[in-house]
Chain A
Amino acid sequence: MAAETSPPVSRAAAMFEGVPHEPGAKKPDPIVVADGVKRTFGGLVAVDVQHVEIQRGAITALIGPNGAGKTTFFNLLTCFDHADEGRWSFNGTDLTKMSASRVAKTGMIRTFQLTKVLAKLTVIENMRVGAAGQSGERLWKAMFPMFWRAEERANTEKADELLKRFLLDKKREDFAGSLSGGQRKLLEMARALMADPELVMLDEPMAGVNPALKQSLLGHVKSLREEGRTVLFVEHDMDMVRDISDWVIVMAQGQIVAEGPPDSVMSDQRVIDAYLGAHHDTELTFEAEEKILAEAEAELDELAAERGADIATEGEPDE
């Protein structure tokens, strides 16, 4: 990686060269491949994905309106929920019938939309739990510290480094439950990194995070890609999506409706109609807002006038 001189963004862009901008597009080096994944809740089809591939080493965003099935799809991929149909694999390993904990062990670690910190454990303990393959987690070795003391020390060092990077080192000994919402997001992300995952799956990492913290979170996510990790995230914050993602997948009503680099996806008429809305990329000035408001009012008046006419005609006895 050190030998390459080009900045990472263009390298990521180069990855997607020649990939068609259409749903289910084949990627040159996919880390996750899913086929025919379907999940229904009663009569509601929450997820119905024909084919999707996630490119290794890139930051992929999953966007879509509320209720599009993004989080459900996340849960299915990480085996926190069971699909009705379909197969998906990670690094060539079939995950379809795996338990959530084994999926995590294969190197695919997720975070949650509603942050899940271990409230009554200290921040550093939260971090230590995250480390994978600890021999001290086996019952017969747990009683005898000589089996796990060295490992614990190494894990603690690693945890401290990550805490420093995520600006949580001052909170080291505090209960995780005493952290603010944004700090919890940071802790959850840092904890996920303790296991050295190949693929990090972030479910709305920016929800409820203040603007200043958002900037540093963006930096953290980018640095994950620089470390050679793959990132897949669900997000409603379009600035973040535009800023850091190399590839965007759009879901609506359980299906993937568009794929492509951020710029092309965000100018796609279907995406604008289904999700973004016509004014998504124009910053509204006071005048423009007034104008839109006036237009809308005029439209309403027109409608009301029509209504009035309708009521008037209804009064006539011939119907």
Chain B
Amino acid sequence: MDFGSLFGQTIEQAFGPLAIVYCLAAIGLNVHFGYTGLLNFGQAAFMAVGGYAMASFVQTWGLSMWLGMLVGIGLTIVLALLLGIPTLRLRADYLAIVTIAAAEALRQTVGSVTLLEYFGGQDGRQGNFAREFRDLNPFDEGLTIGPVSWSANVFWVMVVGWALVALCCLIVWALMRSPWGRVLKAIREDEDAARSLGKNVYSYKMQSLIIGGIFGAFAGFIYGLSKNAVIPTDYATDTTFFAYTVLLVGGAARVFGPVVGAILFWGLISALSVFFTQATRSDLIPDSIMSNDQASLMRFIVLGLALMLLMIFRPQGIFGDRKELAIDGR
């Protein structure tokens, strides 16, 4: 058992680009679900719109990546409006159904053969569309501290990514301490009460959906830039559910919940993966109990167990306030 590499890989993943992607997606969901009570199960769609707009602009149309990002944000707003206009007047469950369906529809559409020349079908957009971003990289070498090491490109994505996370956290903090944020929380608690006090619930929900969606698009940008690829399977429904997990681990309606949640989630997943792979390989766990192939699935089983325990013993997440959870809403 090589504890050095176990520790190294865990830290690499916990602070790596993937953790940033899920952190940003979860910050968006925090605005939707944590503060406004909107059950958006289609965060992957917002991420896909961001990622695909950026990648296709460069690779399909040969335009600037930065323009692609701007258009991506614009399209995210359009998507939020399209999803919100028919559903935000209805009960919350309808938004959940519509968003999960829309996310899948969008993924199937960009992955379709018909649109192959624009979005690359199931292969997505791969190639060097992140060139403009990588050209800006001021780091010649990556970062290596003991067993932990990131390449120059990954480190550049991490610097930009964590800066973006900090900016998003700042925005969420500034918004949620304001009277605007208070109205969102009021809507989460009781829509009719907010309405009876003269708040235009529909408009606030739409604003929340758009802002959270834009954070989702940011996640899509970082995802695309870190892999230099945008692939339909990256935006499947489990992406959204992982983001929800990250949010609930950290604690919903807390500014730093998604940050801590993402670091813990990816650290844990990576640690479990490395542990079981090494344990089966070095015969710490004999083949009769678990083969090397099965080991890679063990991380999800143990992670699921860990989540169950968390929900039982600390249902409010890391940052949550148990008292708040004990309150019966009605």
Which residues of chain A have a CB within 8 Å of any CB of chain B? 78, 80, 99-102, 104-105, 109-112, 114, 116-121, 125, 128-130, 132, 134, 136-139, 141-145, 148, 152, 175, 177-178, 191-192, 194-195
Contact = CB atoms under 8 A, between A and B. Distances in A.
Contact of B207 (A99, A128, A139, A145): A139
Contact of A116 (B193, B324, B327, B328): B193
Nearest to B190: A116
B178 interface: yes
Given A104-B196, A130-B197, A175-B324, A114 B180 contact: no
A149 to B, nearest CB: 10
Interface string B174-188: 110011111101101
B195 A195 contact: no
Most buried by B among A99, A144, A177, A194: A177
A191 B327 contact: no
Contacts of A110: 196
Contacts of B234: none
Nearest to A191: B197
A99 B185 CA distance: 21
Given A101-B198, A112-B196, A177-B327, 13 more contacts: A104-B198, A121-B185, A128-B182, A132-B197, A132-B198, A136-B178, A137-B199, A142-B181, A143-B174, A143-B175, A144-B174, A175-B327, A177-B328
A251 B189 CA distance: 33
Nearest to A201: B196
B196 A178 contact: no
Closest 8 pairs between A and B when the two form their complex, measured CB to CB: A177-B327, A142-B180, A136-B179, A104-B198, A142-B178, A116-B193, A118-B189, A105-B198
Nearest to B180: A142
Interface in B241-268: none
Contact of B179 (A134, A175, A177): A134
A191 B189 CA distance: 15
A175 B196 contact: no
A105 B195 CA distance: 10
A62 B206 CA distance: 37
Interface residues of B, number: 31
Contact of B327 (A120, A138, A148): A120
B32 to A, nearest CB: 15
Given A120-B324, A143-B175, A109 B185 contact: no
Given A118-B189, A119-B328, A109 B174 contact: no
Given A121-B185, A121-B186, A101 B195 contact: yes
Contacts of B180: 136-139, 141-142
Nearest to B192: A116
Contact of B182 (A78, A121, A132, A192): A121
Contacts of A178: 327
A80 B190 CA distance: 14
Contacts of B196: 78, 80, 100, 104, 109-112, 116, 192
A285 B63 CA distance: 91
Contacts of B201: 101
A215 B13 CA distance: 63
Most buried by B among A80, A109, A139: A139
B323 interface: yes
9 contacts: A80-B192, A101-B194, A109-B197, A109-B198, A114-B330, A118-B193, A129-B194, A177-B328, A191-B197
Contacts of A129: 182-183, 186, 194, 197, 199
Given A116-B193, A148-B178, A101 B200 contact: yes
Contact of B171 (A105, A109, A143, A152): A143
A137 B194 CA distance: 13
B192 A112 contact: yes
Interface string B293-330: 00000000000000000000000000000011001111
Nearest to B182: A129
Contacts of A121: 182, 185-186, 189
Contacts of B178: 136, 142-143, 145, 148
Contacts of B181: 142
Contacts of A114: 330
Given A137-B179, A138-B180, A143-B175, A119 B189 contact: yes
Contact of B323 (A80, A101, A105, A175): A175
Contacts of B171: 143
A102 B199 CA distance: 8
